[in-house]
Amino acid sequence: MSPSNNEKLDQVFRPIREEAKRRRKAFREAQVPKIHIGMATCGIASGALETKKAFEETLAERNIEALIHPVGCIGHCYAEPIVIIDHPDSGFPPIFYHEVTAGKAQMLAKLFLEEGDPRFEHVLGATVENDLIPSVMEFSRFNQEKRVVMEKCGYIDPEDIYDYIAEGGYSALVKVLKLTPDKIIREVRNSGLRGRGGAGFPTGKKWELAMRAEGQIKMVICNADEGDPGAYMDRTILESNPHQVLEGMAICAHAVGANKAIVYVRAEYPLAVKIVTKAIQQAKELGLLGKGILGTTFDLEIDVFQGSGAFVCGEETALIRSIEGYRGMPRHRPPYPVEKGLWGLPTVINNVKTLATVPSILENGATWFRGIGTENSPGTAIFSVVGNVVHAGLVEIPMGVTLRTLIFDICGGILNKKKFRAVQIGGPSGGCLPADFLDTPIDFDSLTEAGAMMGSGGMVVMDEDTCMVDVAKYFLDFTQKESCGKCTFCRIGTHHLLRILERLTKGEGQDNDLEMLESLSEDIKTGSLCGLGKTAPNPVLTSLEYFRDEYEAHVKEKRCPALMCRPLIAYYFDLDLCARGCDACATCCPVEAVFTTSNRKKGVDQELCVKCGECVVACPPEYDAVRKVSPPDLVPVVERAPEKK
Amino acid sequence: MNQELTDEEQAALKNIVSKLSTFEKQRGNLIPILQMIQEKIAYLPPETLKMVAEHLGILECEVYGVATFYNQFRFHPPGKHPIKVCLGTACHVRAGDIILENFERKLEISEGETTPDREFSIERVACVGCCALAPVAIIGETLHGNMAPSKVEGLLMRIEIEKEMAERKKQKNEPVQ
């Protein structure tokens, strides 16, 4: 593009940027308190809507002037609903409050906003270093993270494009519009960015192939069909900062020469659909999308397509079939979608995180990006760390951090001071790693080598009370249901794997079951076309490799060492501890399996018991009389009191 | 699967017919059309599948094949109080399946079904994204975190009580007229 065109581009963008800055300045400098409330799905699920309402009502009732600023999610799910209150007149820095229920909101509005008392007992920390309140940056959950993709998530209003522009948004797009496609792709390639969807294919290479592919019309698809039952970072990014993804899509489209793009979001994410649709509209109004972007000749239309909830549609060829209106079944590759994709056109399909990383690379340069993470996996990784871990939520760390640092330092270790058993990485396609692997660095290659995979970034931490056979069964149950049915090995093989695992957890395991699991798993891997089938046996194979003794206990002794598989355990009350006349367990039992003995203590009718464990919770801690055993035939016999006549 | 359509559903069906004509007759519109129908009528009655097939000029079995492939589409009307039990990984580790079982036992239906009086339906869903509150169940629009089997009974009882209260209120108001 000629220098005069570049100047013209700046001229078009400058007023937009200045307007954003003016709005930001007016908001910042307003001499009233500002209340930032995290309003993404997870915040709303924990009650953020009620919190917001409580703030609004109390402010109106007490005549307090304050601005409420709905923001996205910062990823600290354990503390939701999260509120930041910036009250300049109080003399305190902006403060993070955690678990702000409606009641807490009313109290904070009255005591802090009106009377200036920040209520230290509810403070998580200050947002900045200061002398009054410890900053959250002193916590490893904050200071050991490295935010590239989620930098602005939870700080800006996702429904206000100016909020994003004020933070430097869309300036990467402006920069890119002045470059030739070759230069953009070279920059992305030099950055070493690998696809965040799981497989880790170099993004620059994918773009280059699409650029060189023949055809006038090309497509860009943002894959937000996040189906892994324990990962929700794509949703959080779309809900908290949709424009960063749109900007990444625009950069990609400009680089490969596409004029049409589609965001493929799951219909199960209604808020994400709504926010992205609105973001596209806003960007169009400002001329950042649509016809003749920022006065140039580059056009880009972005549509939203709602995926209907099929895990296999995360696979790119299946995703394409579903947009075309068919059952989402993968097809053979090659031809790859970059040559023949949607409607037969060259199509780039990138994950949300990949596209959301792109603007920062173009803004700061490939060298900067290479400075984060490891040699072969530069950049950051986002994990949704859930399960039996203290500070659950989304964590963005530089690649190369070890699992131990992530689980024990950043996420606070195991809940209730229990022992670490295993970590499941990569969802249904990943594997379970035992404690020996805690010092494995997190990057594409190391995880694959250990038998797990980066996958979608789901990470489930499990304590000593988790049965590995049951976890493998859970994932198999999922993949078996989601198998599209095209390949026999995947369709029938996973069914049989599941049947064997079900047998084991019921104590009906047969002698050669473990060998059968192994050989069948290998066959499914070889005989399947797409990633779903190729990786479906991973949870079984890794748990079998690292926790074989548990499998053997299930087969040989009909015993579940973790006391989790319900057909293999039994509950009883320790009669030395059970309190005479206490009825706590009997009242809460959903199936009336608890009976009274002749000396007014309790026994369990093993025929009726559904093993829900409710009596364990109900039994007062002073008695702590409920016991679990495995195998169930070890349970002591307790007689019912004879019926009164 | 052959339920009688309620009056409301009949009205919605008419609405769908007029909405259908705004969609171009392209195969790519099949899923968006099915989504539109489900949004209006909450499930896909057999009549609608036929309408869609006619509109797009494809076989009804094709439409049915696509609709059954995806988890989003329902062929049963949901209850007035749809119950969704999360069985994401975190909920599973914290015994979400026991919660599901409890709902099934109390309501005497299995997941994916609706009670005959159309009051309740049970569905299992993948992660709803508040893993810190696991196990989680959603009744109507309200999310209930840290579920326990004994909470199931309490929640159902609450709905029952609220219903009775509403009825009593109605009765109180009626004689005045």
| Cβ contact A229–B89 (<8 Å) | yes
* CA angle (A403 as vertex; A472, A480 as ends), nearest 5: 20
Per-residue pLDDT band for A293 (boundaries 50, 70, 90) equals: very high
Tell me what pLDDT residue A295 has: 92
Number of other residues whose CB lies within 10 A of the CB of residue B115 = 15
Check if the beta carbon of residue A194 is closer than 8 Å to that of residue A202.
yes
As a whole number, mean pLDDT of residues A571-587 equals 92
Write out the two tokens for B159. Answer: 């709905």
As a whole number, mean pLDDT of residues A568-595 equals 92
Per-residue pLDDT band for A3 (boundaries 50, 70, 90) equals: low
Per-residue pLDDT band for A437 (boundaries 50, 70, 90) equals: very high
Residue A194 has pLDDT above 50, yes or no: yes
Question: Which residues in chain A are closer than 8 Å to B29, comparing Cβ atoms?
Answer: 325
Quote the distance between the C-alpha of residue A402 and its chain's center: 19
A66-80, A118-132, A485-499: which has the highest mean pLDDT? A485-499
| Cβ contact B31–A387 (<8 Å) | no
Per-residue pLDDT band for A535 (boundaries 50, 70, 90) equals: very high
Residues 68-97 of B with CB under 8 A from A: 69-73, 87-90, 92-93, 95
**B101–chain A Cβ distance below 8 A for any pair:** yes
pTM of the model: 0.92
For chain A, give the percent of residues with pLDDT over 90.
77
A383, A449, A376: which is closest to A410 by C-alpha? A383
As a whole number, mean pLDDT of residues A430-441 equals 93
As a whole number, mean pLDDT of residues B66-73 equals 93
Nearest CA distance, A324 vs chain B (angstrom):
4
Closest CB from A306, A309, A614 relative to B150: A614
| Cβ contact A268–B72 (<8 Å) | yes
pLDDT digits (tens, 9 = 90+) for A156-179: 999 999 999 999 999 999 999 999
Buried residues in A355-387 as b, exposed as e (16+ CB within 10 A): bbbbbbbbbeebeebbebbbeebbbbbbbbbbb
Number of other residues whose CB lies within 10 A of the CB of residue A635 = 18
Residues 419-438 of A with CB under 8 A from B: 424, 427
Question: CA of A487: how far to CAs of A283, A328, A523, in Å?
Answer: 43, 13, 12
Residue A389 has pLDDT above 70, yes or no: yes
pLDDT digits (tens, 9 = 90+) for A13-23: 999 999 999 99
For testing the chain B interface, which of A99, A608, A612, A616 should be mutated: the one with the most B CBs within 10 Å? A612
Question: Which residues in chain A are closer than 8 Å to B106, comparing Cβ atoms?
Answer: 590
Residue B1 has pLDDT above 50, yes or no: no
Per-residue pLDDT band for B150 (boundaries 50, 70, 90) equals: confident
Nearest CA distance, B134 vs chain A (angstrom):
8
| Cβ contact A327–B65 (<8 Å) | yes
Tell me what pLDDT residue B2 has: 47
Angle between helices A242-256 and A270-285 (to 10 degrees): 60
Closest CB from B98, B129, B149 relative to A235: B129
| pLDDT, chain A, mean | 92
The residue of chain B nearest to residue A229, with distances taken between CA atoms, is: B88
E strands of A427-569, at which residues? 431-434, 458-463
**A392–chain B Cβ distance below 8 A for any pair:** yes
The residue of chain A nearest to residue B148, with distances taken between CA atoms, is: A614
Q: Which residue has the higher pLDDT, A321 or A453?
A: A321
As a whole number, mean pLDDT of residues A252-277 equals 94
Query: How far apart are the C-alpha atoms of A209 and A382, rounded to whole Å?
Result: 27
As a whole number, mean pLDDT of residues A338-350 equals 95
As a whole number, mean pLDDT of residues A289-316 equals 93
Tell me what pLDDT residue A601 has: 92
Query: How far apart are the C-alpha atoms of A191 and A204, rounded to whole Å?
Result: 8
Tell me what pLDDT residue A181 has: 95
Residue A477 has pLDDT above 50, yes or no: yes
| Cβ contact B132–A80 (<8 Å) | yes
Question: CA of A452: how far to CAs of A333, A410, A424, A425, A444, in Å?
Answer: 24, 21, 8, 6, 10
Write the CB contacts of A361 (distance below 8 Å, at least 6 apart in sequence).
A187, A188, A191, A193, A368, A369
As a whole number, mean pLDDT of residues A34-53 equals 90
Query: For residue A338, how many C-alpha atoms fall within 13 Å in the half-sphere facing its CB?
Result: 16
As a whole number, mean pLDDT of residues A176-190 equals 95
The residue of chain A nearest to residue B39, with distances taken between CA atoms, is: A267
Per-residue pLDDT band for B91 (boundaries 50, 70, 90) equals: confident
Tell me what pLDDT residue B122 has: 93
For chain A, give the percent of residues with pLDDT over 70.
99
Per-residue pLDDT band for B13 (boundaries 50, 70, 90) equals: confident
As a whole number, mean pLDDT of residues A613-622 equals 90
As a whole number, mean pLDDT of residues A613-639 equals 91
pLDDT digits (tens, 9 = 90+) for A598-614: 989 999 999 999 998 88
Per-residue pLDDT band for A426 (boundaries 50, 70, 90) equals: confident
| pLDDT, chain B, mean | 87
As a whole number, mean pLDDT of residues B157-171 equals 90
Residue B171 has pLDDT above 70, yes or no: yes
Residue A368 has pLDDT above 80, yes or no: yes
As a whole number, mean pLDDT of residues B53-65 equals 95
As a whole number, mean pLDDT of residues A79-88 equals 92
Residue A131 has pLDDT above 60, yes or no: yes
pLDDT digits (tens, 9 = 90+) for A631-644: 999 999 888 888 76
Check if the beta carbon of residue A295 is closer than 8 Å to that of residue A287.
yes
Backbone angles phi, psi at B30, to 5 degrees: -55, -50
The residue of chain A nearest to residue B71, with distances taken between CA atoms, is: A309
Residue A561 has pLDDT above 80, yes or no: yes
